Structure 1
Amino acid sequence: MLAFSNSPPPPEEKIKHKGGSESYVALVWRRLKRSWTGMSGLVLVILLLLMAVFAEFVAPLDPKATDTGFAPPQVISFHDKDGNLVFLPRVYALVETTDLDPVTFQPIVGPDYDHPRLLGLFVKGDPYYMFGLIPGNRHLFGATDGGPVHFLGTDKFGRDVLSRAIYGSRISLMIALTVVAIVTIVGTTIGMISGYFGGVLDTWIQRFVEVVLAFPQVPLYLALTSLIPVTAPTNVFLAFVIIVMSALGWAQMSREVRGKTLALARIDYVRAAMAIGATDRRIILQHIFPNVMSHVIVAVTLAIPSVVLLESFLGFLGFAVKPPLISWGLMLQDTSTYSVIGSYPWILSPVAFVLVTVFAFNALGDGLRDAIDPY
């Protein structure tokens, strides 16, 4: 007699079944998890995006609030004024002393050991409106008494550098993500059309792409952005900068996608789809586009750092963002003279945010490239 059992299958059968049903996304994720650089880039990218979205909550102070002129960063201490170890971290407020700087003849700013400020998480501080709608006054970190704490010092107007850098991430990343989104959509569409149809259409499209690639981008950026009057609204200026960057950036993406499409259009299953009468739209969307997306995803993660660096460079020259908006490039305008850098080196702090952003997206792009590569 045959005996029927409801017992579960052996473990090796489960593993085989699970491996056989693994999707392409799950396979890429499993490969990405093996790369410590890719995972570190992914974590940093997520943290940067969360910081930009919830800048009002993360920033300890109002970025427009002013204090005393240039003030050095306040160091977190676990000791009281007598040198005894304490449990709660604290900073000491900076006050002007009676001593004068022998070079600038300005009063020397020093810590006030008699009035420490205790630090904490989720403290009350300057009021704000999250997303312009939700009122709040809680901040991720800061002084428990709600007083100002300058972890990265202040600029020439006494504004907190750390808070301005956190708010600046919103504009810098928004410009980068918007430009890359437009470049990806336009470049991918034109590249697939050019590579799939070929012939005269491909010839004319590629001649136009070569004309766009032949332009020296940085001088053209400066020339086009200088056409905007100084009195133009900040939103108009920002939109024009995004349009200029997008108009000059799609050509390289189009050339790369065209090369991939030319190779895919000659594969057997694409020719078989043509033979059975499938429409061009169906072939492009169902067969070519999914195979091109792996390259596009990697190209996007590697293009974002380039746009961040370009925005920082243009902002440093005054051609990207105008006040009252805040960006990393605009903050670096204060470093235009060597004397300021030598006397107040902490105003170079936005450079660290740019470097972290570039590293994060480059590391994520390298990890995705290795995870997506079938070979």
Structure 2
Amino acid sequence: MSTPAEEADVAPVATRLSGRAEGYATLVWRRFRRSTMGMIGLVLVVMLLIIAVFADFFAPMDPKEPNLPFAPPDVIAFEDPSGNFSLIPHVYPIGDTGEFDPVTFQPLTGADKSNPTPTGFFVKGYSYYLFWVIPTDIHFFGAVDGRPIQLLGTDKFGRDILSRGIVGSRISLMIALAVVTMTTIVGTLVGITSGYIGGALDAWVQRFVEFVLAFPQLPLYLALTSLIPVTAPSNVFIAFVIGVMAVLGWAQLSREVRSKTLSLARIDYVRAAIAVGSSDARIITRHILPNVLSHVIVAVTLAIPSVVLLESFLGFLGFAVKPPLISWGLMLQDTGTFSVIGSYPWILSPVIFVLITVFAFNALGDGLRDAIDPY
């Protein structure tokens, strides 16, 4: 017979042993957080979504306000004009130093230390509506005295590239998330239904999927988006672009989900559910769909970067977003000539936003794929 002291020693052990029966989501999270790149991708994705939601708050300048065209990026430094360290960062505009290159005799430019712009956090700037309802003029970062700062320079109309990139993240990520949501829903439902029912329905559905996959997508994108009149409202144009991308993007996921469903339909618990008389809808939603979701989640995280790249490419060609809306692809239209890139290389700054987004979602997708895979 065990003593009370022995039972007290055994109780924590039993609690720990019983606590090891964790759920599937907990096990996936435990494996996922061991992936360094996956965690970096998760942090970046969360930051991108927060910046997109509160874009006006994080934008230091009005993205539509014109200033000096093709102004070079300002220099930000933690020092005052005398060169001493300062906890308050100062922004120094790029100006003419009064010196000339000894070879080309071109005027040299550099930071104008005589005209600093003090900056700070939670400063007042241009007015906007928080959550499209609450009027405010507080910004996360900006000039204390209200002077313009261009940390990434300006475009051909003198608009701040950094602010336009932050505000443009709304449209670019909204298009990507909307397209991926539609393609995921349609592709998953079609794939599961086709793979589970099989027979003639599966044959006809797969022929249609092959027909969609056989189309050269880029020429079809350009052909369909060119059907929208130039005078159409921007919202209508974006909705049409989202619809075109979704119609042409669901087929590949459908084929992948179908192959997973074919293997799951032969598992014992599915056959047992069929034997006890469960309906097809119940078997699909309660037994097959939860086991397919792991693959679908990974496919979603890997599909978002593809849509972002496609939107950027179509926007560069002028087939995705129309002014006055802002997107990363539309901003890249200014880089259409080598002379502009050579003279004003900072005009390529929107590429940084695209690269960070693609890297973040790809890293997150790779981490989830390793964490969800039971093998």
Tell me which residue corresponds to 1:248. Answer: 248
Q: Spell out the pairing of 1:179-218 with structure 2 (5 A cutoff).
A: 179-218=179-218
Tell me which residue corresponds to 1:275. Answer: 275
TM-score after normalising by structure 2: 0.94
Cα displacement string for residues 13-53 of structure 1 (whole angstroms, at most 9, x for unaligned residues): 22211112x11000000000100011100000000000000
Cα separation, 2, equivalents of 1:332 and 1:346 = 11
Residues 78 and 85, structure 1, Cα contact 8 Å, conserved in 2: yes
Deviation at 1:126, TM superposition (A): 1.2
Deviation at 1:131, TM superposition (A): 2.3
Deviation at 1:66, TM superposition (A): 1.0
Deviation at 1:116, TM superposition (A): 1.2
Deviation at 1:340, TM superposition (A): 0.3
Cα displacement string for residues 283-340 of structure 1 (whole angstroms, at most 9, x for unaligned residues): 0011000000000000000000000000000000000000001000000000000000
The one-letter code of the counterpart of 2:370 is D
Deviation at 1:137, TM superposition (A): 1.0
The one-letter code of the counterpart of 1:180 is V
Tell me which residue corresponds to 2:132. Answer: 132
Report the count of equivalent residues. 372
Tell me which residue corresponds to 1:39. Answer: 39
Deviation at 1:86, TM superposition (A): 3.1
The one-letter code of the counterpart of 1:68 is L
Cα separation, 2, equivalents of 1:125 and 1:266 = 62
Q: Name the stretch that deviates more: 128-137 or 335-344.
A: 128-137
Cα separation, 2, equivalents of 1:309 and 1:169 = 13
Give secondary structure in 1 for the equivalent of 2:157: coil
Tell me which residue corresponds to 1:15. Answer: 16
Say whether residues 1:294 and 2:294 are aligned partners: yes
Cα separation, 2, equivalents of 1:222 and 1:347 = 25
Distance 1:9 1:337, change over 3 A: same
Tell me which residue corresponds to 2:257. Answer: 257
Listed as ranges, the gaps of 5+ residues in structure 1 are: none
Deviation at 1:374, TM superposition (A): 0.6
Cα separation, 1, equivalents of 2:107 and 2:60 = 27
Deviation at 1:115, TM superposition (A): 2.7
Distance 1:223 1:2, change over 3 A: closer
Give secondary structure in 1 for the equivalent of 2:75: coil
Listed as ranges, the gaps of 5+ residues in structure 2 are: none
Residues 315 and 330, structure 1, Cα contact 8 Å, conserved in 2: yes
Deviation at 1:145, TM superposition (A): 1.6
Deviation at 1:99, TM superposition (A): 8.9
The one-letter code of the counterpart of 2:256 is E
The one-letter code of the counterpart of 2:141 is F
Tell me which residue corresponds to 2:78. Answer: 78
Residues 155 and 347, structure 2, Cα contact 8 Å, conserved in 1: yes
Deviation at 1:93, TM superposition (A): 3.7
Deviation at 1:108, TM superposition (A): 8.1
Residues 125 and 147, structure 1, Cα contact 8 Å, conserved in 2: no
Cα separation, 1, equivalents of 2:315 and 2:9 = 64
Give secondary structure in 2 for the equivalent of 1:76: strand
Deviation at 1:95, TM superposition (A): 5.8
Distance 1:322 1:338, change over 3 A: same
Residues 129 and 136, structure 1, Cα contact 8 Å, conserved in 2: yes
Cα separation, 2, equivalents of 1:33 and 1:147 = 43
Deviation at 1:111, TM superposition (A): 4.4
Cα separation, 2, equivalents of 1:204 and 1:116 = 69
Distance 1:108 1:232, change over 3 A: farther
Cα separation, 1, equivalents of 2:46 and 2:218 = 30
Give secondary structure in 1 for the equivalent of 2:122: strand
Give secondary structure in 1 for the equivalent of 2:167: helix
Distance 1:3 1:9, change over 3 A: closer
Give secondary structure in 2 for the equivalent of 1:114: coil
Cα separation, 2, equivalents of 1:124 and 1:153 = 21
Q: Spell out the pairing of 1:215-234 with structure 2 (5 A cutoff).
A: 215-234=215-234
The one-letter code of the counterpart of 2:288 is I
Say whether residues 1:235 and 2:235 are aligned partners: yes
Residues 81 and 114, structure 1, Cα contact 8 Å, conserved in 2: yes
Deviation at 1:222, TM superposition (A): 0.4
Distance 1:134 1:100, change over 3 A: farther
The one-letter code of the counterpart of 2:86 is V
Residues 165 and 327, structure 1, Cα contact 8 Å, conserved in 2: yes
The one-letter code of the counterpart of 1:329 is G
Cα displacement string for residues 143-167 of structure 1 (whole angstroms, at most 9, x for unaligned residues): 1222211110110111000000001
Deviation at 1:89, TM superposition (A): 1.4
Cα displacement string for residues 230-270 of structure 1 (whole angstroms, at most 9, x for unaligned residues): 11110111000000000000000100000000000111110
* Percent of residue pairs identical: 68
Residues 177 and 304, structure 1, Cα contact 8 Å, conserved in 2: yes
Residues 44 and 360, structure 1, Cα contact 8 Å, conserved in 2: yes
Cα separation, 2, equivalents of 1:79 and 1:289 = 58
Residues 74 and 150, structure 2, Cα contact 8 Å, conserved in 1: yes
Cα displacement string for residues 182-211 of structure 1 (whole angstroms, at most 9, x for unaligned residues): 000000000001000000000000000000
Tell me which residue corresponds to 1:63. Answer: 63
The one-letter code of the counterpart of 2:76 is I
Cα separation, 2, equivalents of 1:341 and 1:100 = 23
Cα displacement string for residues 121-149 of structure 1 (whole angstroms, at most 9, x for unaligned residues): 11111111112211111111111222211
Residues 71 and 109, structure 1, Cα contact 8 Å, conserved in 2: no
Cα separation, 1, equivalents of 2:51 and 2:187 = 30
Distance 1:82 1:179, change over 3 A: same
Cα separation, 2, equivalents of 1:52 and 1:23 = 32
CA RMSD, 1 decimal = 2.3
